[in-house]
Structures are given as C-alpha cells and as structure tokens.
Amino acid sequence: MVRIPKITFWRIIIAVIMVLGIYYTVIRYTQGLGAVTNLSDQYPWGLWVAFDVITGVGLAAGGFLIALTVYIFRIDNYKPILRPAILTGFLGYTLVAVGLLYDLGKWFDIWHAIIFWNPRSVMFEVAWCVMLYLTVLALEFSTVVFEGLKWKRLNQLIHMLIIPLAIFGVILSTLHQSSLGSLFLIVPAKLYTLWYSPLLPLFFFISAVSVGFAMVTFESFLSRRFLGKGIELNLLNGLARVNVLVMIFYLTIKIWDLAGRGVLGDVLSTRFESIMFDIETLVQVIIPLVLLLIPAVRTSTKGLFVSSLFVIVGFIMNRLDVAITGIEASSGAHYFPAFGEIAISIFIVTIGFLAFAFLAKHFPVFIEPKENEEEPVEIVHDI
Amino acid sequence: MVAIMVAITIIGFVVLDLVLQAVRKKEEIAEKQVELEFSDFRVPMATFFYPGHTWVNILPTGDVHVGLDDFSRKVIGNIEHIEFPKEGRMLKQGESAFTVKSGSKTLTFLSPVDGEVIGINRMMLSNPAEVSRNAYGSGWVLNLKPTNLSVNLKAMKIAEDAVAWLKVELRRFREFALGENLQHIKDELQYEVGRTSQDGGFLTEGMLGRMDEEAVKYFEKEFLGRKE
Amino acid sequence: MAKMGILIDITKCIGCKACEKACKMRNDQPLTLDEHLSANAYTVVQERLPNTYVRRMCMHCENPTCVSVCPVGAFTKTAAGPVVYDKYKCIGCRYCMYSCPFSVPKYQWNKVVPYVQKCYMCADRIEEGSEPACTAACPTGASIFGERDKLIEEAQKRIKDNPDRYVDHIYGLHEVGGTSILYISNVEFEQFKAPFNIALPDKPLPMYTWAALEKVPTIVVVGGVVLTGIWWITSRRGEVEKFEAGSKQEHWWRFGKKQEGVKEKKEDKQ
Ligand code: SF4
Ligand code: SF4
Ligand code: SF4
C-alpha cells in the first residue's frame, strides 16, 4: 500500500509501533485511562494532553502561515509550499482530534462541546477554534483531492470561497494558538515562575509561528527523503530568514518579560525547572538563531535541516515543560509517562506520517498545476 | 524529564535514519558501479544537442527550452541545487548559463543559444524524481526567448548526427577516465579495465561525486566547453 | 437563599474522622481510611502537625476556577453556595483538576466511563433545609454549617476573644476571591502548605483567563478587517499587473510588431 523506498528496517519499526499501538488502544478503551497511563489525581494532565494535543496544534501551524503568505499577502513564490503545508496542517489537527479521543475520559461525549457552552472557558474557545479550523483546512485541502479526482465543479466552488476561508483560518489560528497559552493563565500559583507569565498567550503564538516555519522545512526534507519530492532550497531559505526575525522577537520579549517580573535571576538557579527552562530556550531559540544567522548554514540543505530540527525539538520541550514539568513542584508528585502512553503517542504520529505519504503519493500535493503547458513528445532513437 | 525523553526520542529517530541512510548510500554507490552502455543514453530525435551537453527544444511558441542531457545528468547523479540566471538576463551562446551543485561539487553549463531568460524550472529542485523520468521534457532548466536561433543551431547536432556525436563523447570520456594526468581515476576504476564495452564504459552514475577538484575542472573544460 | 458555608476551626478538631465516615455513608463509598482526597473520599482529616488536624474538602469558591475552566460548563456554583457537578455534561478533559487552586477534583482513573468526583456540600440536603452530613456528624463543633456571613462574624469573634489561641487570619475570606469553606487556626496557615497555599492571590483566578478571553472579539474583528484589507490591496496590485500585461498583448496582436521590435533593439545594441 504505502511504499516507503527504504530497507525494510523502517517497515519493521512501523509494524512494531502498529501492533503496540493497537494493543494499548484496546486496553485503554476497555479498562480505562488508569490501565495505560501514569496519570494520577496529582497529575491529571500527562503526555497525551501535553504532546498529542497542545504540542500537536503548535506543530501544525505551518498551514495557516503559508495560507497567509500565499492567499493574503499574495507572495506567489510560495505557492509550491502551500499544498504540503495545508496537508500537514490538516493531518496535524486530525491527529490532535485523535489524541483527544484517547485522552478524554468520556471521549464519546466529545460533541458536548458543541451543545453545552461555557464562553468563560479557554478550553471552550480552543475546542471551537480547533473544530472550525479543522473544517477550514479540510475545505482548503479538498481542492487538491477534487483536482486529483477531476471533480471540476466542486473545485470551482471551493476556489470561490478560498479567500474568505483563508482569512477565517488565519484568525482562528491566531486565536487558538495563543489560547493554548491562556489555558495556563489559570494556574498562577502552580506553574513555575519562569514559565508563568501574563504573556503566555503571546509566547505561545509567536513560538507557534516559529515552529510552523521550521515544520514546513523539516517536512520538506522528510518528503524528499522518503518520497523523492520536496520544496526547493530558495523558498526554505526565505522561510528561515523570516524565522530569524520571529525568533529574535520571541527572545526579546521573553527576556523583557522575565526582567519585568523580576525573575530573570532564576534563569541561573540550579533548580531542576530552571535548568529545563535554560535547555529549552537554548534549543528552541538561541542555537537555531545563531545557526541561521550564519549565511553558509542558512543556504545549505543540511544547515536548514539541523536548525529547523532544533526549533522543533525546543518547541516541543517548551510545551511539555509548561504543561508537565512546570507544575511538578506544586503538585507534590512526580510524573513520567507510562510505556503505553508513549506507545500510543508514537502510534498516532506514525499514522500521520503514513497518511501524509499516502496522500502525497496519490494526490497532486507537490505539483502545482501548470497552465496547459505542452510537453514535447519524445521520440527516442532506436539503436 | 518528560521533555528530555521526548526530545531524545525524536532526535534518536532522526539520527537512526541518518545512519541507515549513510549505510544505504554506500551500498547504493557500490550497486551503481555498473558501467553505463550507450543504450542507457536517450537521444530524442527532435532535440538539438549542444556540445556543452545541454539540449535545446524549440517550442511551438518560438521560445526554446534548454536542459541537461542524459550524459551530464548521469555524470552528476543527484542534483542538489541549481544556480539559475535571473529572469530577463540576456545570454550568449557559449556563455555560462547556470550552475549545478551536487555534494560539494559544482558544474557550470554554457548556454546553447543567444537569448533572454524568460523562465526557470523550479521543478528541477522540487520534484527531481519527475524531471529525471522526463529529462528531455519537463526536465528543462531554462526557458529562453532566442534572438539568433538560425545561426546558433549550426553549432548543434540533431538526430543521427547527435547519436554519432554522443558515441564519440563516450569514447572521449573513457579516455578521460584513463588519462595519464588523472591517475587517481585510473586507479579507482582499475578493476573495470578489461570488461569495457567499446562505446560506453567507465561512466558510472554519479561519477562527479568521486572526482576531485582537478578532475572536475578538466571535465568542465573538455566536456562542457568551459573556457578558463 | 442566603449564601451558606462551613467554618472549620482547626483548634477544635480532635481527628475523630466522624465527618469522613458520615460523608462516605452519605455517598455510598467504601468505608476505608484515606489519607488523601480521592474519588472515594470527598473529605479527609489529616494530622499535619502533632495533634493538629486539618480537614480537607472542596473549598466551594465564591468565584470557582472549576466553573470557569470547564469547556462544557459541567460545574455550577449554586445560589446557596455549593459548587456542584453535572456528570452527564462532563467530557473528561480534566482541566478542572489541573487548574483547581486547591487540587480538589479527583478522577475515577480505572473506570471505562470515568467521572470527576468531589464534595458537593451535600447540596441536596441543604436544599431540604438540613445541613451537610459531615457537619452534622462533627462531635466537637470543629466544623459548623451556617450562613457564610454569620460564620465570618463567628470566626472574627473567636479570634477577637482568644487572640492568644488563634492567628489573626480567616482562610477563605479573601483567598481567590473568597470561599464558602472558612478555616481558622492556631498555627500560621502557611505551615500546613496545601490547601492553604499562601501564593494564591486574592483575585479570583477566572479573572486571569478572562483578561485574555475578553480580547477575542477584538482580535476577530480587527484581524478580519486587516486581513481583508491586505488581501484587497495585494489582489488589486495583481489585477493591475494583469491588466497591463493584457493591453501589451493586445498591442502585439494588432500590429504583430512586438517580437520584431525586440529584435531591432537587440540589433541596435550590437
Ligand atoms: S476548591 Fe476547586 S473544586 Fe472546589 S470550588 Fe474551588 S475551584 Fe472548584
Ligand atoms: S473534566 Fe469534566 S468537569 Fe472537569 S473541566 Fe473537563 S469537562 Fe469539565
Ligand atoms: S459536605 Fe457532604 S459531600 Fe462534602 S464533605 Fe461534607 S458530607 Fe461529604
């Protein structure tokens, strides 16, 4: 089915992940959360919320950024990136929904969010934005599917809606990317001071922008690696430049905020949390920033790959730190995910990769339609 | 702790893949040590070949597409980056037109015609699989508006002439590979001596990666027609 | 109905755990001795310092965090004071557990259909005009039920009458905007740590998130206008370019001269 042009090693890994994933899925749905997770009354939120949901939404930010660039700013150069970025966004958000279905205690009641409203709840806002944005992404991506299936009429219909959809999508993304940070505004006494800040929504939004660019770059390499299709260097270089600005901005307001709250000194403390904060900031911002400021790195394939990997890993660390590490001290308990939690998380990510590979292979994701360009017929000389 | 665990997991996967890839590349290179025969090179009958190993297709609009021929493609192997000329630039026949990068090596190709650059093919970089399948079609590199086509075409070969020319080129390549002044290539390819075919031989895919600086210069001069 | 509450006088508690037992009987929970709050223990009495017992239960905040965070509004603060939970609405996101400043809500981790569990101040009994099972069972009057205002007066009176015995602090009067459960003690509250988190502000926690949430409509409106504006400008630019290109094209058709013209220029240069 899905062809991964690779020695069977990865296929074996994938098979193992699938088997484990299915096994733990069965246990989770037949015996409850306690049977698979290390969650407890002291630690009600673990890897699934922090990684699969909160981090996942951030990692899927590339879609809205590129939609903004192409549809609103009309920078046509970036058209070739649009489709892969929207596809990753769509898959990313779908996986977030899948992650939620694992994590919610009463997952079968997930639709309650539609009928029971609580506009005072940040979670309510996030739920609605994610729901609506998933719809927007599905519609945006449907052009690709319709094109692949050659359904002209529907495609034209969507094309008419594409600009309002794009605008709507950008607004929704801005809202929920920042609202994920607002989720933690409610725990001023629980979250470690280096992370708790009234500016959390802003931090979450900016870092999502930064990681969105990094993800587009990273995925491009992955798809070139596994599918032989990708995005050209010049465009990625452009994204890297923008990302440099974003990261400088992030770092500046981060320092400004720490200083303003008078906790800048805690950065040097030897507390576990402080050390984690330092590692996270180094990996997420400082190292990639330094790397990308070197022109030789910025213009080389490897350099871009490595620096975007730094941004992504650092971003993930940041989200996990805020959601898990940051409340460790106040919860009075220690949390480390159970094997089942890790297995399910990897399972979900793997499904995402496979779905991307499948769609990229069977639908025109990487090729922009050329306006009826004629290919010269090739007559090969027989020898 | 959780953050570190996840970070290590992700980096672990990436590193594992890089290691596997490195191993595989080695194997692949070993596999590709197969000599290419003349029949491995396509010579479309309607395409003009320029001695600098670029081709020209005249489009119905009167513009031309310029691309890399099979020979140069095979020597290069994996195209990593192309330095395109700016759109709107005027090129002269025999003038440097674009540069191809693979690994740490770069090759400069000459323009086969005089003309204005009116388009570049970004797909060369974004979809290498597709362009290598269709080297003489969607695998074009530059779109030019020619200004002196009739004169330029006199320097090119087509059809039977092109076939004969390519045969000569392959023979020359063999000599180049065995050349006195290029001892290292000779050593490297020693094992192939004795089972060379008449026309092909010594050309294996991605050879550029195994040439040193000196050899690359020599190759550019002798086969791509670059003047120093 | 007047706002009701419970006053817990730590100095009077003897650790008999009668309240625990009464609560468990009331809620049909297994009669175990629990150290911590759990899905099977809505209240526990903990010996925090030698011979000093702290009874823990939901604080029934005046402006409860759990009510504000729940995406489906499963929690409600009733007029009489209790914060009650609607198990049908709940989707099990556990944000309430994560954010409750006193870490009160607990979960049924090993159930296939789990619910959040916490003290509901025996809301049904209060409605009937009775008092919660736990206060009714308390033999020493360490937990007393009554109108919150009256309880505050009572607490103030006790502190005033016995300034040597009590520290001058009614916990729950101002913390996170006030709670229906009030504590007075002979020991500084911070020595007990949880639930008496001294770091808690007097500002109700929901106001922290509301500060961000109230900006949402502005972002939507401003964002919509700005983005549409940018799009309009950029697309106008595209249209102008197209129009100009189009007129050139037409020119070329009509006179068939464009290409020749170009050639001439080139030749001129040569
Ligand atoms: S103590 Fe916690 S659970 Fe109880 S009302 Fe306050 S916020 Fe809600
Ligand atoms: S776990 Fe239930 S009650 Fe608690 S916030 Fe989530 S939906 Fe509301
Ligand atoms: S008020 Fe009722 S539910 Fe709450 S602790 Fe007392 S007896 Fe238990």
Bridge partner residues of B81 (DSSP): B101
- The whole-number pLDDT of residue B228 equals 62
User: Which of A33, A73, A189 is facing C197, going by the closest CB pair?
Assistant: A189
On whether residue B18 sits in a domain, the answer given is: no
B115 vs A228, higher pLDDT: B115
In this complex, which of A109, A117, A189 lies closest to C199 when CB atoms are compared?
Answer: A189
Would the CA dihedral through A354, A357, A363, A366 be positive or negative? positive
Q: A161-178 burial, b for 16+ CB within 10 Å, e for fewer?
A: eebebbbbbbbbbbbbbb
String of DSSP letters for B3-22:
HHHHHHHHHHHHHHHHHHHH
Q: What's the mean pLDDT in A117-126?
A: 91
Q: Taking Cα atoms as reference points, which of A2, A12, A138 lies closest to residue A63?
A: A138
The predicted structure's pLDDT at residue C43? 94
Q: How many CB pairs under 8 A join A and B?
A: 113
Give the domain extent around C150. Answer: 4-204
pLDDT of residue C257: 40
Cα–Cα nearest to C92, from C110, C72, C76, C120? C72
Residue-level length of chain C:
270
Both C179 and C227 in one domain: the answer is no
Mean pLDDT (whole number) for B149-160: 87
Asked if the structure places residue C209 within a domain, the reply is no
User: Hey, which residues 44-73 in chain A have their CB within 8 Å of chain B?
Assistant: 46-47, 50-51
Pairing relationship of beta strands C143-147 and C4-9 according to DSSP bridges = antiparallel
Ligand 3 site, residue C75, Cβ cutoff 6 A? no
Is there a single domain that holds both residue C144 and residue C172? yes
Does residue B37 lie in a domain region?
Answer: no
Please state the domain count of chain B: 1
Cβ-defined contact of B3 to A381 (cutoff 8 Å): no
Q: B-chain residues within 8 Å CB-CB of C266?
A: 90, 147
CATH number, residue B56: 2.40.50.100
Residues of chain C whose pLDDT is less than 50? 249-270
Interface contact flag, A320 B10, Cβ < 8 Å: no
Phi, psi of C261 (to 5 degrees): -55, -45
pLDDT tier at A228, thresholds 50, 70, 90: low
Interface test with A, best of B6, B37, B45, B167 (most A CBs within 10 A): B6
Report how far ligand 2's centroid is from the alpha carbon of A37 (Å): 18
Given a cut of 80, whether residue A11 has pLDDT beyond it is yes
**Is pLDDT above 90 for A382?**
no
pLDDT digits (tens, 9 = 90+) for A16-59: 999 999 999 999 999 999 999 999 998 999 999 999 999 999 99
Nearest CA, atom 2, ligand 1: C100
The verdict on residue C210 lying in a domain is no
Domain range for B162: 42-228
- Note whether B20 contacts A276, CB cutoff 8 Å: no
Contact A171, C231 (CB under 8 A): no
Does the residue B24 lie in any domain?
no
User: Is C122 found in the same domain as C29?
Assistant: yes
Assess whether C270 and C188 both reside in one domain.
no
| Radius of gyration for the alpha carbons in chain B, expressed in angstroms and rounded | 20
Domain end (from C204, C227, C242)? C204
Q: Is there a single domain that holds both residue C225 and residue C174?
A: no
Q: Which residue of A has its CA nearest to C99?
A: A187
pLDDT (0 to 100) of residue B223 = 83
- Domain stops at, among C204, C225, C245: C204
Taking each helix axis from N to C terminus, what angle separates A339-362 and A8-31, rounded to the nearest 10 degrees? Answer: 120
In a domain, C79, yes or no: yes
What's the gap in Å between the CA of B175 and the closest CA on chain A? 23
The amino acid at B67: G
Q: Is C91 in the pocket of ligand 2 (CB under 6 A)?
A: yes
- Other CB atoms within 10 Å distance of the CB of residue A111: 11
Q: Give the position of tokens 């502005």.
A: C218
Question: Is B65 among the domain residues?
Answer: yes
pLDDT of residue B43: 84
Report how far residue A174's alpha carbon sits from residue C99's, in angstroms, rounded to the nearest whole number.
24
Instruction: Identify all chain B residues contacting C263, using CB atoms and an 8 Å cutoff.
Output: 147
Output the pLDDT for position C268.
46
CATH numbers and ranges of domains, chain A: 9-346 (1.20.1630.10)
- Number of Cα atoms under 13 Å in the Cβ half of residue A6: 24
Residues C134 and C243 in one domain: no
Looking up residue C108, the CATH number of its domain turns out to be 3.30.70.20
pLDDT over threshold 90, residue B26:
no
Ligand nearest to the CA of C115: 2
* Beta carbon of C100 within 6 Å of any ligand 1 atom: yes
Which protein residue's CA is at the shortest distance from atom 2 of ligand 2? C90
Indicate whether C188 belongs to any domain. yes
Neighbours of chain C (3+ CB pairs under 8 A): A, B
Q: C83 CA to middle of ligand 1, Å?
A: 7
pLDDT per residue as tens digits for the range C203-259: 999 999 998 888 889 989 999 999 999 988 888 877 777 666 655 544 444 444 444
* Domain-embedded: residue B1: no
Three-state SS annotation for C156-219: HHHHHHCCCCCCCCCECCCHHHCECEEEECCCCHHHHCCCCCCCCCCCCCHHHHHHHHCCHHHH
Q: Does A382 touch chain B (CB under 8 A)?
A: no
Query: Stretch A165-176: mean pLDDT, rounded?
Result: 92
CA-nearest residue to B149 within chain C is C263
- Taking the CA of residue C97 as reference, the ligand 2 atom at the shortest distance is 4
Instruction: Say yes or no: C200 and C82 in one domain.
Output: yes
Residues B118-142 have pLDDT tens digits of 988 877 777 776 677 778 888 888 9
Distance C16 CA to ligand 3 centre (A): 16
Is B135 contained in some domain?
yes
**Which one of the ligands is nearest to A109 CA?**
2
The ipTM assigned to this model is 0.87
**Range 45-74 of A in CB contact (< 8 A) with C:** 45, 49, 68, 71-74
- pLDDT tens, position by position, B181-193: 454 444 544 444 4
In testing the pocket of ligand 1, which one of C118, C120, C203 has its CB within 8 Å of the most ligand atoms?
Answer: C118
Q: Is residue C135 part of a domain?
A: yes
C259 and C178: one domain?
A: no
pLDDT above 70: residue B201: no
Record the pTM.
0.78
CA-to-CA distance for C10 and C21, rounded, in angstroms? 18
C28 lies in the same domain as C64: yes
Number of domains in chain C: 2
